[in-house]
C-alpha cells in the first residue's frame, strides 16, 4: 500500500457520485414548499398563542428531511445506518394543538417525496392539502360556542339569572357551579342569537350580580 492508496476510499468515491444539481433542485423546492406550509399554518392557526418558532421549524423540517432522504437514496448501506440512528431519537416537546401534528407530518412527507425525486407529487400534493386546510379550518361556524361566567352574592338570584339567559340565547347548558361563603359563580356554555351580546349587560343589571363575562372558546371544555 502506498501513499495514494490511503485516499482511495468509498468515502471519497461518494463525492464524485454526488450530483450538486439534484441537491440544488431538491433543496430549493423543499424551501419553497416549506414556505407554503408555513403560510398555510399562519393562515389557519386558531390557537391562543401563535408560535413563530414552530412555523419556522416546519420549513427546517422540510429541508432536513429532504437532505436525509437524498443521502439515503444514494447508498443502501447508508440507509440502513440512518434508520438505526434515527430510531433512537426521541422528541419530548408537547404538541399543544392537534392540527400542529398534521403540519409536522406534512413537512416530513414533503421532504421524503422531494428527496425521492417525485417533484410533481410533492408540489401538487402540497397545493391540494393547503387548499383543503384553508377551506375547512377557516370555515366560520354560524353557531359558535361561548363561555358565560357569572358571579353573584348568593343562590337567590340563580332562577332570575337562568330565566334571563334562556330568553336571550339560542341554547345554554351549565358547565360548572361554585358556591362559597363569598357568593356563587356559574359557568355556562351558550349559543348566541344572531351574534348579539347585549344580554350580558342585562344579566349584570340583575340585583346582587357582581360580574358577567362572555368568552369565546373552541368547544373543548375542560371541567
| pLDDT tens string 48-84 | 666 778 888 889 989 988 888 887 776 655 555 565 5
Give dist(CA 223, CA 221) in Å, integer: 6
Query: Among candidates 156, 163, 157, 169, which has minimal Cα distance to 198?
Result: 169
The region, left, alpha or beta by phi > 0 then psi within -120 to 50, assigned to residue 208 is left
Domains annotated for the chain, with CATH where assigned, are: 4-137 (no CATH), 145-216 (3.30.70.60)
Locate 103 and state its grid cell. 403540519
Q: Look at the pTM and tell me if it is higher than 0.75.
A: no
| pLDDT tens string 102-161 | 888 889 899 888 888 888 898 999 999 999 988 887 665 556 788 889 888 877 878 888
In this predicted structure, the answer to whether residue 223 has a pLDDT above a threshold of 50 is: no
Paired with 151 in beta bridges are 185, 211
Residues 6+ positions from 106 with CB-CB distance below 8 Å: 37, 58, 126, 129
In this predicted structure, the answer to whether residue 11 has a pLDDT above a threshold of 60 is: no
Considering 19-23, 24-28, 69-73, the range whose residues carry the highest mean pLDDT is 24-28
Give dist(CA 104, CA 58) in Å, integer: 7
Amino acid at each position: 500500500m502506498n501513499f495514494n492508496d490511503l485516499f482511495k476510499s468509498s468515502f471519497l468515491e461518494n463525492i464524485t457520485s454526488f450530483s450538486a444539481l439534484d441537491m440544488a433542485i431538491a433543496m430549493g423546492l423543499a424551501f419553497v414548499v416549506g414556505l407554503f406550509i408555513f403560510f398555510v399554518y399562519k393562515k389557519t392557526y386558531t390557537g391562543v398563542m401563535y408560535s413563530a418558532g414552530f412555523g419556522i421549524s416546519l420549513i427546517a423540517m422540510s429541508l432536513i428531511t429532504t437532505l436525509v432522504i437524498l443521502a439515503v437514496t444514494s447508498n443502501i448501506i447508508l440507509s440502513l445506518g440512518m434508520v438505526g440512528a434515527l430510531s433512537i431519537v426521541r422528541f419530548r416537546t408537547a404538541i399543544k394543538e392537534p392540527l400542529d401534528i398534521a403540519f409536522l407530518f406534512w413537512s416530513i412527507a414533503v421532504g421524503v417525496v422531494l428527496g425521492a425525486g417525485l417533484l410533481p407529487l410533492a408540489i401538487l400534493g402540497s397545493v391540494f392539502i393547503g387548499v383543503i386546510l384553508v377551506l375547512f379550518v377557516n370555515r366560520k361556524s354560524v353557531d359558535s360556542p361561548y363561555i358565560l361566567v357569572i358571579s353573584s352574592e348568593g343562590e337567590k338570584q340563580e332562577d332570575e339569572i337562568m330565566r334571563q339567559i334562556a330568553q336571550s340565547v339560542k341554547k345554554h347548558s351549565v358547565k360548572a357551579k361554585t358556591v362559597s361563603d363569598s357568593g356563587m359563580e356559574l359557568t355556562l356554555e351558550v349559543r348566541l342569537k344572531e351574534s348579539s351580546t347585549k344580554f350580558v349587560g342585562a344579566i349584570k343589571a340583575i340585583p346582587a350580580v357582581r360580574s358577567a363575562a362572555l368568552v369565546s372558546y373552541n368547544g373543548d371544555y375542560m371541567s
